Structure 1
Amino acid sequence: MVKLTLVGRVHDGLPLSQGLVYDEDDIVYKKHAEFLLHEISLDALPPSTTTIFLHNHCFNYMVRNGVCFITLCDVSYPRKLAFHYLQDLQKEFDKVDPQLVNQIIKPYGFVKFDNIICNIRRQYIDTRTQANLSKLNADHKQELDVLTEDMSLVVERRRRSDMIERMKNAHKSTSPVWESKTLEVIAVKWTPITIIFVVALVLLWSSL
């Protein structure tokens, strides 16, 4: 079944709206959904239809017109139906004034869309309804072009990327003087003088 939904803005990774959160497990999965939205905003995940597996659940997401639609389902839930659900959400979101969407600055500030998510979600809870069976049968001969990945790989890539970034920043912070233009000028100006002074000192010492 469809357990959780998140709609977010891609360019800054801001979550705009969500479906209902029912229990503590949903709150944990919500954090995972926010993480995926953040990765998409950083171009660390493909902006297309993708399924991310996490234990016995999977996140399905699609990006359209700068907005990301994410849903969490049981792995047994038909993916084609999950993406129909996301497409229905996208169609409703397309009716919203883009200026209104861009003006939202508070996470989950688009509260009005929460009711729309809940209403559409109710239509997809039972996969055996005639409407849902019709959607599945209509696409029965079509292959769904969906990328797949495991959440552990996504997390590991982010961990490595953050580690490399920290190493770069640490290198910059510990050696700014040695890489500066000022030090280069000083070296060019004073190195010959220093060499002459040392040679003269050695000659003077040897003549004594």
Structure 2
Amino acid sequence: MVKLTVVGRVNDGLPISQGPLYEEDGDNTIYKQHAEFLLHEISMAALPPSATTILLPHHHCFNYVVKNGVCFITLCDALYPRKLAFHYLQDLQKEFDKIDLSLVKQITKPYSFIKFNNIICNIRRQYIDTRTQANLSKLKANHKQELHVHTEQMSLVVEWRRRSDMLERMMKAHKSAFPVWGSESLEVIAVKWTPITIIFIVSFVLLWSSFKQ
């Protein structure tokens, strides 16, 4: 079942729209935070912009696609047909393509593009029951054709981000401890005095050599 849908901008990772939450699932808030985290990673180019499945514990997974700078993410049961999940995301894309992108660029508050919430809700209804004739036809169409989807573990994505943040903190701490190194003033000094220093050293060596002879 499609349990959660989040649409966001890739350039800044802002979630702009969302679909209805699956009421029977008590972890809705956590999954929503996971979706926002993935959107942030995509905006940082830490995850591929191509069709991707992120595997979670407890028999769930996120599927997402990116088009024209907009990311469409959905949370599904692990047993939900992946092919159907990406059909759902593609339908969302098609509807979003009808919207003026200049309006999307003007959005500043998270989840404030309410106009698209209703569209998500309507399309989601079509994918709740996998046994409908329409959905069965989608599953059977091009049955031999494999989906070119990248697959990743959520735990690895989180670990990569943790290590990346740790490395960034270490670099900032190093610069704070030695502020002169890497500064613009040090670069100016180096450019100004390096040629003079080289000339002085060469002159000293030549002079020393003449005295030695």
TM-score (normalizing by structure 2): 0.84
Amino acid at match of 2:168: E
1:75 to 72, 78, 83: 78
1:97 to 1:174, Cα distance in 2 relative to 1, 3 A: same
1:138 to 136, 141, 151: 141
Aligned length: 188
* 8 Å contact kept, 1:13–1:37: yes
Q: Which has the larger radius of gyration?
A: 1
1:122 to 1:167, Cα distance in 2 relative to 1, 3 A: same
Amino acid at match of 1:166: R
Alignment of 1:56-75 (within 5 A): 56-75=59-78
* 8 Å contact kept, 1:177–1:183: no
Unaligned runs of 5+ in 1: 189-208
Deviations 1:50-86 (A, max 9, x none): 0000011000000001000000000000000000000
Amino acid at match of 2:19: G
Match of 1:13 in 2: 13
The 3-state SS of whatever aligns with 1:28 is: helix
Amino acid at match of 1:148: T
Alignment of 1:1-208 (within 5 A): 1-21=1-21, 22=23, 24-55=26-57, 56-177=59-180, 181=185
Deviations 1:81-109 (A, max 9, x none): 00000000000000000110000000001
Amino acid at match of 1:20: P
User: Which aligned segments of 4 or more residues in structure 1 are displaced greater than 2 angstroms?
Assistant: 21-24, 177-185
Q: CA deviation at 1:25?
A: 1.0
1:178 to 1:123, Cα distance in 2 relative to 1, 3 A: closer
1:70 to 1:179, Cα distance in 2 relative to 1, 3 A: closer
Amino acid at match of 1:91: K
TM-score (normalizing by structure 1): 0.86
The 3-state SS of whatever aligns with 1:140 is: coil
The 3-state SS of whatever aligns with 1:85 is: helix
